[in-house]
Amino acid sequence: MGSGWQTAGVRDGERAARQYDAMGSRYAVDNDEGAFNAYYERPATISLIEPVDGLRVLEVGCGGGHLTEWLVERGADVTAFDVSPVMLRLARRRVGDRATFLLADASAPLEFAADNSFDLVVASLVLHYIADWRPVLREFRRVLRSDGAVVCSTHHPTMDWEIGGGDYFDSRLITQTWRKGGRDFDVTFWRRPLTAITDAVSESGFLIERLVEPRPSDVLRSRDLEVYELLISEPMFLFFRLKPSVRHS
């Protein structure tokens, strides 16, 4: 992987926009009550977010606006963006004018955001669509206040290794087929080892305050016992709360 922004070929953001535009409302509906989002990923992300009343929050890859809605209902001043026009339209429909929504690509510089302008950056299941985390995390560091934090979730390296096989220490693109709303959709993302993740974090000016491999919400046991038992024994996602490193301040 390179150390800078993508400049040639199919950009990660372009690919993600095309694939999420295709899934559109089918993905958003699944996100409402789906086992992996509503009872596993979202509760774990929220558990790493401290009270947000009065904070300026940058939400990276807002999707259909589920987490955006949670943030604004708790008093956050949210600027949310997504690379998919379809998902952004669904988020605006859900949240209305309670947040600022922008069409933007996390795998490109955040030209709309000033230095030190946010108290919290949240990136829920976004970073595995991006080849090189370092320039992205450096942008998070640039727009974040020195006493702020980043909360992010990503695919667990062991899950992606089971999906893609091969050398665990290799970083490469893999494609999985998701079934949403009775249709199959191809979704492409980057798999990488845990070492590549932690190296990118430290090289971008952050320290890991918390690293979490969560268990699913107990509510899922009564809603989907099969998925509940899977998530109790096999981690699917990995969660971080990052703080700026003093030596990079």
Per-residue pLDDT of 212-248, as tens digits, reads 999 999 999 999 999 999 999 999 999 999 999 976 5
Q: Identify the CATH homologous superfamily for domain 12-156+194-248.
A: Vaccinia Virus protein VP39 (3.40.50.150)
> What percent of the chain lies above the pLDDT cut of 70?
95
Summarize the confidence of residues 32-48 as an average pLDDT. Answer: 94
Q: Which amino acid, one-letter code, is at 60? A: V
Furthest CA-CA distance within the chain: 51
Summarize the confidence of residues 17-28 as an average pLDDT. Answer: 92
Q: Which amino acid, one-letter code, is at 222? A: S
In the predicted model, is pLDDT for residue 133 greater than 60? yes
State which H helix or E strand residue 43 sits in: helix 42-47
Q: What pLDDT score was predicted for residue 7?
A: 45
SS3 154: strand
Any bridge partners for residue 74, and if so which?
Answer: none
Identify whether the C-beta of residue 85 lies closer than 8 Å to the C-beta of residue 102.
no
Question: To 10 degrees, the CA torsion angle through 189, 159, 59, 34?
Answer: 100
User: Taking the domains of the chain in order of start, what are their residue ranges?
Assistant: 12-156+194-248
Q: Which of 138, 186, 197 is nearest to 163 (CA)?
A: 186
Q: How confident is the model at residue 114 (pLDDT cuts 50, 70, 90)?
A: very high
Q: What pLDDT score was predicted for residue 140?
A: 98
Q: Which of 67, 87, 68 is nearest to 23 (CA)?
A: 87
Per-residue pLDDT of 161-191, as tens digits, reads 998 899 999 999 999 999 998 999 999 999 9
SS3 174: strand
SS3 205: coil
Q: What pLDDT score was predicted for residue 4?
A: 60
In the predicted model, is pLDDT for residue 1 greater than 60? no
Summarize the confidence of residues 106-130 as an average pLDDT. Answer: 97
In the predicted model, is pLDDT for residue 9 greater than 70? no
Predicted TM-score (pTM) of this structure:
0.93
**Average pLDDT, rounded, for the chain:** 93
Q: How far is CA 42 from the centre of its chain?
A: 10
